[in-house]
Chain A
Amino acid sequence: MAASSVSSSSVVTERRGIPAASFVEDVQTYLTQSGLDVNSSLSFLQERLHQYKIVEMKLLAQQRDLQAKIPDIEKCLDIVATLQAKRGSDEALVADFEVSEGIYSRARIEDTDSVCLWLGANVMLEYSYKEANSLLRKNLENAKASLEVLVADLQFLRDQVTITQVTIARVYNWDVHQRRIRQAQAAKKT
């Protein structure tokens, strides 16, 4: 867990475009310094919270995409490895493949040293097994690295959400508290 790494996050002001929520030491000072009254500070914080939530949804979608991509690449690696293992064994690899939805045909893959990788954007390239393997491995590593960064981004974001939520609760409580004091004072006078 990277829990200790956030100990200095009071200094961090943003992470990849996500602004950090500032921690409020004292509600009274915070309100005086920002020149806001309770209601406008609450609506400012709510607005912030809402923006954080939008970014969170975006990041979560990216995370889902990557999480789907990783097993896909692993599957590709698996089949390349299977082809590679068959090579030189004189035996052809026989496989049933889907021609169209629900319709399968049979293929014999004779001794060969290459596969074609679909690179996207309507481009397919032929690679030797070795090259295909290393390309796919590189893609896998990249995807895993991006996922790691993304997870860290999400953690950062959620910390900011929590800070904002706590701040909202504190400003609200502070307000309730102030009202009570005023009421008590008013009650004393009468």
Chain B
Amino acid sequence: MQQGGGSESEVTWEDQQNINKFGRLNNRFHELEDEIKAAKELNESLEDASNELILSDEDVIRFQIGEVFTHMASDEVEARLEKMKEEASKDLERLEEEKESVLAQMSELKKILYGKFKDSINLEED
């Protein structure tokens, strides 16, 4: 966000607040991208784990909780994995929704700010 050029348009407190809000949203957007990436990875790992579980014919599985691997019956592991998968995909959904809403708010603010400052303001990333 930089203002260039020598033309002086009046910057009001309201404009400043819009710029601040845009900055916050932009920050959140980047955080969300990271969080979404991590959530996707988690979803994939859990999916891989349950596929492996189906293929394996062991009755007792070593399941990591915290630092230790507990010996657990495979059906219990399956139940746990299902629950974790459910939570992880809900989490991912929630993050994607937030991202959409952040993007929508950002484009609203862009309209307002570009409308007022034309090319004296730059809201794009390099």
Residues on A close to B: CB < 8 A?
1, 3, 6-7, 10, 23, 25, 75-76, 78-79, 82, 93-98, 104, 107, 155, 158-159, 161-163, 165-166, 169-170, 173-174, 176-177, 180
Q: Which residues of A contact B12 (CB under 8 A)?
A: 25
The number of residue pairs between A and B whose CB atoms lie closer than 8 Å in the complex comes to 82
Q: Are the CB atoms of A170 and B71 closer together than 8 Å?
A: no
Contacts of A1 in B (CB 8 A): 24, 105
CB <8 Å contact, A97 and B67 = yes
Contacts of B45 in A (CB 8 A): none
A-B contact pairs, 23 of them (CB 8 A): A1-B24, A3-B21, A6-B17, A10-B13, A75-B66, A75-B67, A76-B66, A78-B66, A79-B65, A93-B71, A94-B71, A96-B71, A97-B68, A97-B69, A155-B24, A163-B20, A166-B3, A166-B16, A169-B2, A169-B4, A170-B3, A170-B8, A174-B8
Please give me the residue from chain A that is nearest to B120 by CB atom.
Answer: A173
Q: In the bound complex, how far is the Cα of B117 from the Cα of A169, in angstroms?
A: 13
**Within 8 Å of chain A (Cβ to Cβ): is B55?**
no
Residues of A within 8 A of B67 (CB): 75, 97-98
**CB-defined contacts of A23 to chain B, threshold 8 Å:** 13, 16
Known: A97-B68, A162-B20. A173 touches B13 (CB 8 A): no
**B-chain residues with CB within 8 Å of residue A76 when the two chains form the complex:** 66
Q: Which B residues lie within 8 Å of A162 (CB)? A: 1, 16, 19-20, 23
Distance between Cα atoms of A95 and B63 in the complex (Å): 9
Which chain B residues numbered 1 to 55 have a C-beta less than 8 Å away from chain A?
Answer: 1-8, 11-13, 16-17, 19-21, 23-24, 27
A169 to B1, CA, bound (A): 10
Point out residues on B near A: beta carbons under 8 Å.
1-8, 11-13, 16-17, 19-21, 23-24, 27, 62, 65-71, 105
Give chain A residues whose Cβ lies under 8 Å from the Cβ of B17. 6-7
In whole angstroms, what is the CA distance A170 to B9 when docked? 9
Contact partner, A176, options B6, B65, B69, B70, Cβ 8 Å:
B6
Residues of B within 8 A of A7 (CB): 17
Shortest CB–CB separation between residue A61 and chain B, in angstroms? 16
Indicate if the CB atoms of A96 and B69 lie closer than 8 Å: yes
